[in-house]
């Protein structure tokens, strides 16, 4: 059973530079959907990726998109080659992306994020408008469905009296 909240707490505590995107971000904005992983847009610097590896070390992280399920063992040289990391850990799946379709790279994503207080702690989450943009850019049926739900949430938020 995934323990995504504990996974996110660990990343927050270890000061990993990231923005929550994807389904977990949609839930943070009020969407009612189930998510089995955490999608992040991360700073893909050597320092940040090495901190990420250290934060996950005892959770037995493996590259989940490889048939061999190779353990995560980054070197500074390898860090410079990665654009995305798709990991399976003892706490659940963690997808780390350097770019979000429809939004841009980490700096653009961070600029379009908001700080929110989640059960796991305070962190940055892609803004509602940027999340809708990214879901529409993905174009998959489940993403388009989520975008519709997020638009309804945005409409309700905009109609609330101040």
Neighbours of 155 (CB within 10 A): 9
Q: Name residues of the chain where pLDDT drops below 70.
A: 1, 162
8-13: long-range contacts, CB 8 A cutoff, minimum separation 24: 8/38, 8/118, 8/120, 8/121, 8/123, 9/120, 9/121, 10/55, 10/56, 10/59, 10/91, 11/40, 11/52, 11/55, 11/123, 12/120, 12/121, 12/122, 12/123, 13/55, 13/121
State pTM to two decimals. 0.94
Domains contained in the chain, CATH given: 4-156 (3.30.460.40)
pLDDT digits (tens, 9 = 90+) for 63-90: 999 889 999 999 999 998 999 999 999 9
User: Phi, psi at residue 35, to the nearest 5°?
Assistant: -130, 140
C-alpha closest to that of 134 among 114, 162, 112: 112
CA 138 → CA 5, 61, 134, distances in Å?
25, 27, 6
pLDDT at 120: 83
| High-pLDDT (> 90) share of the chain, % | 86
Two structure tokens written together for 131? 């999340």
């Amino acid at each position: 059973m995934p323990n995504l909240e504990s996974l996110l707490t660990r990343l927050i505590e270890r000061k990993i530079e990231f923005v929550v995107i994807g389904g977990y971000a949609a839930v943070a904005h009020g969407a009612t959907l189930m998510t089995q992983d955490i999608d992040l847009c991360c700073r893909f610097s050597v320092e940040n990726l090495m901190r990420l590896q250290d934060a996950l070390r005892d959770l037995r992280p493996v590259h989940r998109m490889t048939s061999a399920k190779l353990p995560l063992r980054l070197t500074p040289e390898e860090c410079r080659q990665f654009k995305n990391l798709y990991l399976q850990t003892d706490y659940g799946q963690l997808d780390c992306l350097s770019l979000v379709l429809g939004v841009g790279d980490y700096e653009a994503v961070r600029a379009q994020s908001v700080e929110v207080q989640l059960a796991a702690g305070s962190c940055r989450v892609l803004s509602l408008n940027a999340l809708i943009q990214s879901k529409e850019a993905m174009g998959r049926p489940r993403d388009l469905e989520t975008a519709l739900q997020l638009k309804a949430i945005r409409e309700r938020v905009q109609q609330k009296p101040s």
